[in-house]
Amino acid sequence: MDLSRVYFVIGTSYAGKSTIVTNLAKKHNGIALEENYHDAKLPELDSKEFPNLCYTRDLQDWHEFIRRTPEEYVRWIHDVKKECETVEFQILEELLPTPETQGKLIFVDTNICVDTLHKITDDKHVLVMMSDPNIAISRFFDRPDPEKQFLYKLMLEEPDPQAAMDNYREILVRLHSKESYDELKNSGYQIIFRDENRTQEETVELAEKIFGI
């Protein structure tokens, strides 16, 4: 694939990845592939080929989702990311040749890992966005998006809501480990750190300089 028009954004939670992808696409009349855009393929995936992505699609009781141990949950997340790479490449392969995308820049909030990105594109096409990992852990359920509020509601329905909450916070701690943080910080790509005093417009300008657009 010719990925010269594709710009990838990776990073931590609460860093502004979805916002920057949306704002760059809007400003440059481009295309935004936003968070979890691979979900568009979910209904057609084979559960034998993509067992981890299909886990939530085929789940009968969502309480099982939050009852998993931190070890089970973190392992599942890592395996999901591997499967997401395959699906994301399928979507890009289908999208790039279409007439409506010709000449347009494509901004991607991606699950593609650092090692893969180094193989498929150059430093001017990848941006890392990072926030303090403690923010994601302490403010996870403060966000109004339906997915997080749905999980919060499930925990309140558990026989011991506090135990369910503690279990999930341990999951968040492991997902935002120092090892994961350092991998992104030392990826070799340029980084934009979350700054509450910076406007969205200023963040867009920083991203444009990094991307050279």
Q: What is the pLDDT of residue 14?
A: 86
Tokens read off for 64: 């099982």
User: At residue 142, does pLDDT exceed 90?
Assistant: no
Q: Which pLDDT does position 205 carry in this prediction?
A: 97
The rounded percent of the chain whose pLDDT value lies above 90 is 82
pLDDT at 143 over 80: no
pLDDT the model gives residue 17: 94
Q: In this structure, what are the phi and psi dihedrals at residue 112, rounded to the nearest 5 degrees?
A: -60, 130
The second-level CATH assignment, the architecture, of 6-211 is 3-Layer(aba) Sandwich (3.40)
pLDDT at 186 over 90: yes
pLDDT of residue 145: 76
For the chain, which residues make up each domain, given as ranges? Answer: 6-211
Helix (H, G, I), strand (E, B) or coil at 11: strand
Instruction: Calculate mean pLDDT across residues 141-160.
Output: 87
What is the pLDDT, as a whole number, of residue 135? 82
Q: Contact at 8 Å (CB) between 160 and 94?
A: no
What is the pLDDT at residue 64? 95
E strand map for the chain: 6-11, 31-33, 106-109, 126-130, 191-193
